[in-house]
Amino acid sequence: MRIWLYGPPTDMRKSFDGLSALVTSQMDEDPADGQFFVFINRRRTQLKVLYFDRGGYCVWTKRLEQGQFHPQGQGNRQRLEWIELKLILEGIDLRSIRRFKRYSRPVASEVRV
């Protein structure tokens, strides 16, 4: 499952059609692909996730009563891991997390024959 964070602040009045139009026009992705698309407002107090589930779109939303979301996003889109989305939802600042080196499978273009 892929999760994409849309970097620029989003108008939270947008719903299914408005968010899927952002995915298509700004992120160059297909919103009906089964991926998660995360949007955050300018004040970073509200978050929406757009997802297509077999028969239609789903929008999940979370509004904070206190505090802000602290995404690490730069540019129009950023790939997130599931745990990074969970950390954002829990209020943990991703910029302050120290990451240690871990094994990752080489991409096909990096493999030498």
Q: Could you give the CA distance from residue 67 to residue 45 in angstroms, rounded to a whole number?
A: 7
Phi-psi region of 60 (alpha: psi -120 to 50; beta: other; left: phi over 0): beta
Q: Could you give the CA distance from residue 59 to residue 66 in angstroms, rounded to a whole number?
A: 22
The token pair at 106 is: 């080489």
- Confidence category of residue 57, pLDDT binned at 50, 70, 90: very high
10-45 tens-digit pLDDT: 999 999 999 999 999 999 999 999 999 999 999 999
The token pair at 82 is: 């599931």
Domain positions in the chain: 3-110
61-113 tens-digit pLDDT: 999 999 998 887 677 888 998 988 998 888 888 777 777 777 877 766 555 55
